[in-house]
Amino acid sequence: MYPPVDHLIHLLDEPLAHDLPREEVRALLSRGVACAAPIRGTVYGTLLNDANALAALGGDAYAAPYKAPPRAPILYIKPRNTLVGHGARVVVPEDAKGIEVGASLGIVIGRTASRVSAQTAFEYVGGYTIVADLSIPHQSIYRPSVRMRARDGFCVIGPTVVARRHVADPDALDIVVESEGGATFRASTATSIRHVAQLICDVTEFMTLSAGDVLTLGVPHGVPVIGAGKTASIAIGEWPPLRFSTIAEGGEP
Amino acid sequence: MRRGRVAYAGAIHEAYPHERGVRLADGRICREDEVVWLSPIEPGTLFALGLNYAEHAKELQFSKQDEPLVFLKGPGSVIGHRGMTRRPSDVTFMHYECELAVVIGRTAKAVKRDEAMQYVAGYMIANDYAIRDYLENYYRPNLRVKNRDGGTVLGPWFVDADDIADVTQLELRTYVNGVLHQCGNTRDLVSDIPSLIEYLSGFMTLAPGDLILTGTPEGVVNVNVGDEVVCEIDGLGRLVNTIASDAHFNRA
pLDDT tens, position by position, B30-49:
999 999 999 999 999 999 99
Encode pLDDT of A108-164 as tens digits.
999 999 999 999 999 999 999 999 999 999 989 999 989 999 999 999 999 999 999
Q: Write down the pLDDT at residue B85.
A: 98
Encode pLDDT of B76-109 as tens digits.
999 999 999 999 999 999 999 999 999 999 999 9
Contact B128, B220 (CB under 8 A): no
Residue type, B125: I
Contact B139 A141 (CB under 8 A): yes
Q: Write down the pLDDT at residue B65.
A: 66
3-state SS, residue A237: coil
Q: What is the mean pLDDT of residues A186-212?
A: 98
**Mean pLDDT lowest for which of A166-175, B40-49, B58-67?**
B58-67
Q: Both ends of chain A: CA-CA distance in Å? A: 37
Quickly list DSSP for A117-175: -TTTGGGGEEEEEEEEEEE---S--SS--HHHH-STT-EEEEEEEEEGGG-S-TTS-EE
Which among A115, A144, A208 has CB closest to B139?
Answer: A144
* Contacts of A242 by beta carbon, 8 Å cutoff, 6+ apart: A86, A130, A132, A156, A157, A158, A159, A233, A234, A235
* Residues of B in Cβ contact (< 8 Å) with A141: 138-139
Nearest-angstrom CA–CA distance, B148 and A143: 19
Q: Write down the pLDDT at residue B154.
A: 98
Q: Which of B134, B120, B130 is nearest to B73 (CA)?
A: B130
The yes-or-no verdict on residue B12 having pLDDT over 80 is yes
Q: Write down the pLDDT at residue B61.
A: 63
Contact A73, A46 (CB under 8 A): yes
Nearest-angstrom CA–CA distance, A190 and A188: 5
Q: A-contacting residues of B 76-95, CB under 8 Å?
A: 76-77
Q: Which of A193, A174, A164, A194 is nearest to A234 (CA)?
A: A174
Report DSSP state, residue B51: S
Residue B60: Cβ-neighbour burial (10 angstroms; 0-12, 13-18, 19+): exposed
Which among A42, A71, A146 has CB closest to B136?
Answer: A71
Which among A77, A141, A147 has CB closest to B74?
Answer: A77
Type and span of the H or E element at B96: none
Cβ-based neighbour number of residue A89 at 10 Å: 16
Q: Which ranges constitute the DSSP H helices of chain A?
A: 22-30, 51-57, 146-149, 196-204
Q: Which of A175, A169, A170 is nearest to A133 (CA)?
A: A175
Mean pLDDT of chain A: 96
Question: Residue B54: which pLDDT band, with cuts at 50, 70 and 90?
Answer: confident
Encode pLDDT of B100-132 as tens digits.
999 999 999 999 999 999 999 999 999 999 999
Question: Residue A173: which pLDDT band, with cuts at 50, 70 and 90?
Answer: very high
Encode pLDDT of A73-105 as tens digits.
999 999 999 999 999 999 999 999 899 999 999
* Contacts of A12 by beta carbon, 8 Å cutoff, 6+ apart: A33, A34, A35, A36, A85, A87
**All domains in chain B, ordered by first residue:** 1-38 (2.30.30.370), 39-249 (3.90.850.10)
Contact B140 A73 (CB under 8 A): no
Q: What is the CATH number assigned to the segment(s) A7-248?
A: 3.90.850.10
Interface test with B, best of A143, A152, A205 (most B CBs within 10 A): A143
* Residues of B in Cβ contact (< 8 Å) with A44: 74, 143
Mean pLDDT of chain B: 96
Q: What is the mean pLDDT of residues A66-73?
A: 95
Nearest-angstrom CA–CA distance, A161 and A127: 6
Type and span of the H or E element at B14: strand B11-18
Nearest-angstrom CA–CA distance, A201 and A73: 10
Q: Write down the pLDDT at residue B64.
A: 59
Q: Where are the domains of chain A?
A: 7-248
- What is the percentage of chain A residues whose pLDDT exceeds 70? 99
Q: Write down the pLDDT at residue A240.
A: 96
Residues of A with CB under 8 A from a CB of B: 42, 44, 47-48, 65-68, 70-77, 79-82, 93, 114-115, 141-147, 150-152, 206-210
3-state SS, residue B97: coil
Contact B72 A76 (CB under 8 A): yes
Q: Which of A127, A128, A118 is nearest to A200 (CA)?
A: A118
* Residues of B in Cβ contact (< 8 Å) with A47: 138-139
Encode pLDDT of B150-159 as tens digits.
999 999 999 9
Cα angle A50, B46, A12 (rounded to 5 degrees) comes to: 75
Q: What is the mean pLDDT of residues A2-19?
A: 94
Q: How far is A48 from chain B (nearest CA, A)?
A: 9
* Residues of B in Cβ contact (< 8 Å) with A99: none
* Residues of A in Cβ contact (< 8 Å) with B77: 207
* Residues of B in Cβ contact (< 8 Å) with A80: 44-45, 207
The yes-or-no verdict on residue A252 having pLDDT over 90 is no
